[in-house]
Amino acid sequence: MPVESLQRALHIRRKKNAHVFRNIARLWEIGEQVETHQQILDQLHPWGDHPTLRFDNGLPKFLMLLGALSFFAMFALPSIGLPFIFGFFNGIVLLFLAFILYETDDAIQEVVRYLEEKSIETRYHLKFGRTPEHLPLGMSSTSLINQLKNSFPLFNKGSTSNQIPWYASANISDDENHQYPAFIFQYTYIEETHIHDADGDKVTIRRTEKNQWGVFIFETQIRGLAVTNLRRDIGFPYEVRWNSSDIQINQQLQIYGMDQLQLVKTLNPALLLRLSDFFKSRKGELIFHSHQNMMCFLGEADLFEVSSKAREIQDISSLRGHLRTFRLKHYEQLCSDLSTFLK
């Protein structure tokens, strides 16, 4: 009987999806309890229960197909009558049932992102949403971020908005294992182009949102130096251009400072070589503050981008493989290059 088949399909689907919901709840508990990346991996193997992380949506997809076919059949009728009305309401009911029965992957993706963030925090020692501990207490994160943005001429690229919505504190080591407090961030700016219409009202004709990523590093020693390989000026107060006797350096980098004498004192051959090596693998802007012991690098590479060998997470095993093999490759490369550059 069709009713019995539908009941059996609903029972099987409910049972399969119950496993998924239990697994999701268990993953949240694991994330809240563990303290290290290895503990997360240990909790995921052996799993014991049914390991699926994929909802069974076969029935709602089938109902959706029936609803679509009902609508097509309805419009194929020669006239509007009782069969037309029946087909219309039948299609509505089938599509409504498909909608309420369909389980999205939002809950799965949310817990995976949570475990990713937890793994990143413990594996890379990044503290998301927190500012470096050495900075003054009592200042809100918003005030601190605004103060940091105002300290460098890099964060005024947007005509409408210049925000740092995503950030984490960390420590970066040099080759001698000296720890530098660091603040990793995503910078988002919005550029709008306006014209005035016939009534004199301002109309937005183009809106562009762009992201860049960078790092503030504190307790550095160099001051008053700005370097870029983007072929553009840095801006005030770094307006004095310096030209090296090395043609390759001049072709690769644009170096600015506050006065020529200070640049001559600062730019020794060893520093020039380190700057050249640092910019070989990236595009961006590097500024050492004029009177404070801190620097800022801003570039195009997503420092929070997760790369993984796992193509699709469908069960606990593939989730464990993802959490075991994923990398923040751009962040790793930046830390590696900074460890050599900061010595």
Candidates 338, 329, 290; CA nearest to 308 is: 329
pLDDT at 2 over 80: no
Of all residues in the chain, the percent with pLDDT exceeding 90 is: 57
Q: What is the mean pLDDT of residues 98-122?
A: 90
For residue 78 the two structure tokens come to 């020669």
Residues 200 and 69 in one domain: no
**Which one is predicted more confidently, 141 or 319?**
319
Confidence of residue 69 (pLDDT cuts 50, 70, 90): confident
* Residue 53 scores a pLDDT above 60: yes
Residue 136 gets which letter from DSSP? Answer: P
Q: Would you say 128 and 331 are in contact if contact means Cβ atoms under 8 Å apart? A: no
Bridge partners, residue 227, by sequence = 255, 286
Same domain for 330 and 295, yes or no, is: yes
The per-residue pLDDT for range 149-206, each reduced to its tens digit, is 999 999 999 989 999 999 999 999 988 889 999 999 999 999 988 777 777 777 777 8
Judge whether 97 and 6 are in contact, CB under 8 Å. Answer: no
* Same-domain pairing of 28 and 132: no
pLDDT confidence bin for 10, thresholds 50/70/90: low
Q: How far is it, in rounded angstroms, from Cα 169 to Cα 235?
A: 27
Q: Are residues 226 and 307 in the same domain?
A: yes
In this prediction, residue 8 has a pLDDT band, given cuts at 50, 70 and 90, of low
Cα separation, 286 vs 214, whole angstroms: 10
Answer whether residue 138 shows pLDDT above 70.
no
CA distance 100 to 218: 53
Q: What is the largest CA-CA distance in the chain?
A: 92
199/111 same-domain check? no
List the domain range (segments joined by +) for residue 26. 2-122
316 and 171 part of one domain: yes
How far is residue 302 CA from its own chain's centroid?
7
Mean pLDDT value of segment 15-41 = 91
152 and 101 in one domain?
Answer: no
Question: With 70 as the cut, is the pLDDT of residue 142 above it?
Answer: yes
Structure token pair of residue 256? 């600015």
Whether 118 and 216 map to the same domain: the answer is no
Domain end point (choices 122, 141, 158) = 122
For 251-288, write each residue's pLDDT tens digit: 999 999 999 998 989 999 999 999 999 999 899 999 99
Strand partners, 315: 52
When mean pLDDT is compared across 1-10, 34-43, 64-73, the lowest value belongs to 1-10
Return the amino acid letter for 267. Answer: L
- Is the pLDDT at 34 greater than 50, yes or no? yes
Q: What is the value of pTM for the model shown?
A: 0.82
Name which residue leads in pLDDT, 6 or 131.
131
49 and 187 co-located in one domain: no
Does position 124 have pLDDT exceeding 90, yes or no? Answer: yes
Residue 116 is encoded by which pair of tokens? 């990713």
Task: Read off the pLDDT band of 1 (50, 70, 90).
Answer: very low
What pLDDT score was predicted for residue 49?
83
pLDDT in tens, 57-68: 887 888 888 888
Number of structural domains (the chain) is 2
The radius of gyration computed from the CA coordinates of the chain, to the nearest angstrom, equals: 28
Asked if 148 and 200 sit in the same domain, the reply is yes
In sequence order, what DSSP letters do the residues of 246-290 get, joined into one string?
-HHHHHH-EEEES-HHHHHHH--HHHHHHHHHHHTT--EEEEE-S
Return the number of other C-beta atoms located less than 10 Å from residue 254's C-beta: 19
- Domain end position, chosen among 101, 122, 143: 122
Final residue of a domain: which of 66, 95, 122? 122
